Amino acid sequence: MGKNYQNPFASLDSIKLSFNHIKVWYTSGMGFFTDAYDLFIISAILDVFKYLNSPNFPLNDFTTGLLASSALITAIIGQLVFGFLGDILGRKAIYGVEATLMAIGALLSALAPNIYWLIAFRSIMGLGIGGDYPISATIMSEYANVKDRGKLVALVFANQGLGSLAAVAVGIGATLAFPLDLSWRIMAGIGAIPALTVIYLRRKTPETPRYSLLAKGDAENAKKAAEFLGAKIENNKTVVSKPLSVKEFISKYWITLIGTAIPWFILDIAFYGTGIYSGTITQLILGKPSSLPNLILEQGLPYMVGFFGYFTAVALMDRLGRKLIQVQGFILMSVIYTIVALMLVVSGTKVTGLLVPAEIAFLIYAFSFFFIDFGPNTTTFVIPSEVYPTRARTTGHGISAASGKIGAAITTYLFPVLLSAIGLKNILFMLAIVSVIGAIVTIFTLPETKNRSLEEISNEELITVQADQRT
């Protein structure tokens, strides 16, 4: 084995943005449309159940927490399992399986006869949502050119913004047009549509050039995959990524794992806690709305503000860099949570008034969603797709994403209990503190990845091999 090689992906890294990049973006992005749609729509479904007061769908702290967090819990399993399989079997081998699980879970949820079956079916959907994170992020990252890689991976994730707006529209439309016992089923079932549109495309997407060459030593398929984008593999010798044992991976990348996993954990504590229970928070600030559609609209307003954050991140990802965007996002989240907390007048744990007009307090609170999305909600997704070597990229991303979903599941399940025990004011102070911790961890553990090749960022050791030595 030798170590003299030229970068085989120079053509792929320097190629101009093309239609096929956009095709990969759409194919990858629909899973995140479904993820965000699900995050909002379950809060709308919970509101419907409160109005229905059905014996088949009883709500208490236990069932509310479990229904809200069930998809998150299984998403953790999906992220870990699919992340591991993506490095062992390849990205293409399992691409489309996760979209199928999402579609099946959403369709079955719409048919659930009671709350316990709904929890079970949403768990299936969560498994697919979780599996989508490491695979879609890595496929987009490994196909992208260096100049636009941050933008393209962020665009995959920005489908969450579109999914949130779609969920608000579907939630309002369904409750206005249909009886409540039917409207929530329509909300749940529509979540299958985006996943169904990309199953075929995912099964037809070629294996990435990097995985084909560096993990499998398959130069021919690597060349074909590069040609899919109009690029070429420029090294005549077969170059592979040096295999890493689990011990070697942990030894070399443990600081990176802290840097990608802990901030994601912290981010999702804030994002899912304030997201799934946005209706509860908006009612505490603005008061109870006059109707269910108005409630859904009110709790959707922060997502509408956040929508612009996603695409601000897309526009500036390759200019400002991932690290700066993540740090400023965490800091401004902390500032906003602190300001809103200070505006609340409380008696014990109950909000009894505001020091400013309710509309102003709510607008400031809603801006936290802008800086979540123009900040760590996007960058925690982008960075893990860049900082790990090819043989461990989906595994590293899956571990990081699972860490985030653990934070999401914890806060989602505990939020109703915390709201009763310590109140909204103290919850916001808690979120302000953990946001500062997220910024500090980011500063000390993560490199800046903009305008650098994946192999350079991850310090990936490439070696040339003879034909009989390929792995």
DSSP string, 52-101: H--TTS--SHHHHHHHHHHHHHHHHHHHHHHHHHHHHT-HHHHTTHHHHH
Tell me which CATH homologous superfamily contains domain 10-469: MFS general substrate transporter like domains (1.20.1250.20)
pLDDT at position 17: 87
Please name which of 97, 157, 153 lies closest in space to residue 128, comparing C-alpha atoms: 97
Q: Whole-angstrom Cα distance, residue 175 to residue 235?
A: 59
Element (H, E) at 57: none
Please name which of 284, 229, 25 lies closest in space to residue 137, comparing C-alpha atoms: 25
Which residues in the chain come in under a pLDDT of 50?
1-4, 468, 470-471
Q: Whole-angstrom Cα distance, residue 191 to residue 212?
A: 33
Q: Whole-angstrom Cα distance, residue 174 to residue 82?
A: 34
Please name which of 294, 318, 429, 308 lies closest in space to residue 372, comparing C-alpha atoms: 308
Q: Where are the beta strands (DSSP E) in 186-277?
A: 238-241
Tell me the residue length of the chain.
Answer: 471
Query: Distances from the Cα of 298 to the Cαs of 67, 304, 416, in angstroms?
Result: 22, 10, 19
> What pTM was computed for the model?
0.90
Are 284 and 166 within 8 A, CB to CB?
Answer: no
* Residue 425 structure tokens: 């004011």
- Three-state DSSP state, 462: strand
pLDDT at position 278: 63
Are 219 and 440 within 8 A, CB to CB?
Answer: no
Are 463 and 244 within 8 A, CB to CB?
Answer: no
Q: Phi/psi at 91 (nearest 5 deg)?
A: -70, -45
pLDDT at position 276: 59
Q: Phi/psi at 238 (nearest 5 deg)?
A: -80, 120
* Residue 402 structure tokens: 């699972």
- Three-state DSSP state, 90: coil
Q: Whole-angstrom Cα distance, residue 18 to residue 151?
A: 13
Relative orientation angle of helices 393-421 and 246-276, to the nearest 10 degrees:
40
Residue 5, Ramachandran bin (φ over 0: left; ψ between -120 and 50: alpha; else beta): beta
End-to-end CA distance of the chain: 13
Q: Whole-angstrom Cα distance, residue 37 to residue 162?
A: 8
Q: Which residues of 106-136 are buried (b: 16+ CB within 10 A; e: fewer)?
A: bbbbbebeebeebbebbbbbbbbbbbbbbbb
User: What does the mean pLDDT of the chain come to?
Assistant: 89
